[in-house]
Structure 1
Amino acid sequence: MTLQQLAYFVALADVRSFTRAADQEGVAQPTLSRQLKALEDELGAPLVNRGRGELTLTPAGEAVLPLARRMLSDMDSARTAVAELVGLRRGRVRVGATPSLCIGVVADVLRVFHEQYPDIHLELSENGSQPLARDLARGQLDVAVLVVPREGLDPSLEITPLMRERLSVASPRSGRPPSSRGSMSLTELSRRSLVMFRKGYDLREVTLQAYADAGVTPKFAVEGGEMDAVLRMVEAGTGMAVVPDLVFAGRPRLRRTVLTPPLYRTVALARRADLAPTQATQAFCDTMLSFISEVSATGGLSADVQVLHRWRDGGAGLARD
């Protein structure tokens, strides 16, 4: 068995076509087919069904796929770590983050990190927390900044809680305040039209769960937007939205109204627990933690954002507040 054979198998599993997999891997289709057959002979079972129609994996293929992904990821991490140590290159960090966190804290952390480590290549992937967690487990990301759901995340991931952030109602500042008190309940909000995020967005799931817990039904003006689109539609007066407090910074056209009782979400830093981070990945984690601590200490975060970890001077470690 070779890593190249595993790479061909993973490519085939991803695109479900011998022709496209061969093109993706830069080899002739007969070469890919021969290598896959050699892998199947070594394992003693077929990995793909070769009948007519869409290519599918056999039960053996389904069992081997996550292991193959992890083996390829571990080899890639080994190459990166050794390259850093011998001075071939400074490294790479594949960062995942939810769209709302990209708009808030992650964009600033990436800027600071790039200023400190200009030779480290940064790759950013925006997605919902559950897809990001899956990509971490598969070895397709090195670290992710995500929202911890109620049911928790994959136990194979190491989770470092960063902050507990309040969610508030965004409305257009050009219109009348939704409440004269500066706060409103979910029952009051249910009488207003919402601009709702697309399916798979953490904020959508948190908002809908809060409505269900309150025993009320949401009313939508528009569904299916990304973060930027939702905020622009709110500014234009299309409807209201439930958003993290951090997104209000630098958006003077939005009015913030707090929810009562308050609604929170927990933001965390996640990576694979079974894989030691490369120097570059560890440097990114250190930068994230120190940045949040510094911004919190200087009053740069909303009073409703609770920092769950602070960075000790000199990188000595973490301490829960």
Structure 2
Amino acid sequence: MQIQQLTYFVAVARTRHFTQAAEESGVSQPSLSKQIRVLENSLGTALFARERGDVRLTPAGEALLPHAQEILIEVDEGLRAVREVSGLQRGRVRVGATPSMWEGIMADALVAFRSAYPGIELEVTEGGSRLLTRDLGRGALDLALVIVPLRGDDPDLVATPLLRERLVVAGPADGSGLGPGPIRVRDLEGVPLVMFREGYDLRDTTTNACLDAGFEPTMAIEGGEMNAVLRFVEAGLGYAVVPSMVLASRPGLRATPIASPELTRTIALAHRRTLAMPLASQAFRDQLVEHLHGLAADQLGDVDLIG
């Protein structure tokens, strides 16, 4: 049983005339009649009674008709859905990013994408790079902005670097202490630090930089997410090593540059290698890159575009 055969069957059932059904279907009458016979043979029963020019449905034809009509409706809906998705009128993008990216440029990137593709659903996840790469590997995300190099041993993940951002020390805007800088990493010895929770790359970066400089970091408070860490710094509980972009909307905080050595991290757009990227995800990727390149230098701050 083929879709085209069901189409011809429904046309004959509606018109009660083979020639008229053939004309409406855009085929010759012999071709239509042949396909109806093939359908009847495959079902093992006649679908039409043909008597002196009168065409009517047999009981078998009456039984098949509503199902054939429903099948054709479903096929039409399916084709329309495919056309809508291929035309990016519908679809879904599941994208993850680190908290600093959501704090920085990703909200505006989502606005730009929504404006260009209002019919595409957006599902966002915020988390550290370890969580995001795990979700990518499980198929729970289509795309993720993560810190590279990727951690873990999943060879199916591929990441394309987009940004390189410089890290700064965040402190209260009206407080004393570190001053305007720039400072050296070893100047942080004995300075109370507000530390991110386990699993955040910023925690590892800060700890490793201090150890490389020859001292253990002094933790004033630890275990926070990005918003909590910045709030603790605003409250005067300590300082934190963060990407400069997260301070753009925090007038209560001041950034002190780190110059020796300069601390940076690279953000990449990651996805699964073995799965064809959905059209909606491809559109999001392209729109994101276009948005980043459209940002002015003062909007990017201490961020360099890659490529």
TM above 0.5, one fold?
yes
- Aligned equivalent of 2:84: 87
2:244 corresponds to: 245
1:269 alignment partner AA: L
Q: CA deviation at 1:138?
A: 1.5
Q: Secondary structure at the residue paired with 2:190?
A: coil
**Matches for 1:269-308 after TM superposition, within 5 Å:** 269-296=269-296, 299-302=298-301, 304-308=302-306
Q: Quick check: 2:162–2:306 contact (8 Å CA) kept in 1?
A: yes
Sort the Cα spacing of 1:113 and 1:234 in 2 relative to 1 into closer, same or farther, 3 A: same
Q: Distance in 1 between matches of 2:305 and 2:112?
A: 19
In structure 2, do the counterparts of structure 1 residues 307 and 249 end up closer, same or farther at CA, with 3 Å as the change threshold? same
Match of 2:158 in 1: 158
Q: 2:257, 2:80 → 1: CA distance?
A: 49
Q: Which residue of 2 aligns with 1:119?
A: 119
Aligned mates of 2:293, 2:152 — CA distance in 1? 24
The reply on whether 1:144 has 2:141 as its aligned counterpart is no
Taking only the aligned residue pairs, the percentage that are identical comes to 50
Could you tell me which residue of structure 1 aligns to residue 171 of structure 2?
Answer: 171
Contact 1:84 1:91 in 2 (8 A): no
- Counterpart of 1:237, as a letter, is G
Q: In the superposition, relative to structure 1, how do residues 213 and 150 fare at CA in structure 2: closer, same or farther (>3 Å)?
A: farther
SS in 2 for 1:141: coil
Contact 1:248/1:256 (8 A) holds in 2 = yes
CA distance in 2: counterparts of 1:239 and 1:170, whole angstroms:
9
Question: Deviation at 1:154?
Answer: 3.5
Query: CA 1:206/1:135 → structure 2, altered by over 3 Å: closer, same or farther?
Result: same
Q: Distance in 1 between matches of 2:176 and 2:298?
A: 29
Q: For 2:175, what is the secondary structure of its paired residue?
A: coil
User: Closer, same or farther in 2 for the Cα pair 1:154/1:209, shift >3 Å?
Assistant: farther
* Amino acid paired to 1:286: D
Q: How many residues align?
A: 226
CA RMSD, aligned part only?
2.0
Structure 1 residues 161 and 175, CA, compared in 2 at 3 Å: closer, same or farther? same
Q: 1:87 aligns to what SS in structure 2?
A: helix
Question: How many Å separate the matches in 1 of 2:193 and 2:79?
Answer: 51
What pairs up with 1:222-261 in 2 under 5 angstroms?
A: 222-259=221-258, 260-261=260-261
Note if contact 2:130-2:151 (Cα within 8 Å) is conserved in structure 1. no
Alpha-carbon offset, residue 184 of structure 1: 1.4
Structure 2 gaps, min length 5? 1-77
Following superposition, the deviation at residue 130 of structure 1 comes to 1.6
* TM-score with structure 2 setting the length: 0.69
Question: Displaced runs of 4+ in structure 1, greater than 4 A?
Answer: 81-84, 150-153
Q: Are positions 1:196 and 2:195 aligned together?
A: yes
SS of the aligned residue for 1:262 comes to: coil
**How far 1:211 sits from its partner (Å)?**
1.5
